[in-house]
Amino acid sequence: GDEYISSEHILIGFSETKGPIASLLKDQGVTKENILKVLVDVRGNQTVDDPNAESRYGALKK
């Protein structure tokens, strides 16, 4: 599992709460399940095991 909190953890948290950000995400069809599916595509089996782990994903290349 992940050893650090990364931006996707924040996004998942927002998707599970009530409030304006959660409403915005819901209006755009963003759900926790969708976020987790995309994470598999972007991260594969990589975990957040150092403070700069997000730089390894190459998300912009995809």
Residue 25 has pLDDT above 80, yes or no: yes
Whether residue 13 lies inside any domain: the answer is: yes
The tally of domains found in the chain comes to: 1
Q: Is residue 2 part of a domain?
A: no
The pLDDT of residue 56? 62
> Has residue 1 been placed in a domain?
no
Residue 17 lies in a domain: yes
Which residue segment(s) compose the domain that 13 sits in? 7-61
Asked if residue 55 is part of any domain, the answer here is yes
Using a 10 angstrom Cβ sphere, with 0-12 exposed, 13-18 middle and 19 or more buried, the burial of residue 52 is exposed
Mark out the alpha helices in 3-58 (DSSP H runs): 7-15, 20-27, 32-43
Tens of pLDDT, residue by residue over 28-62, are 999 999 999 998 888 777 777 766 666 665 554 55
18 within domain boundaries:
yes
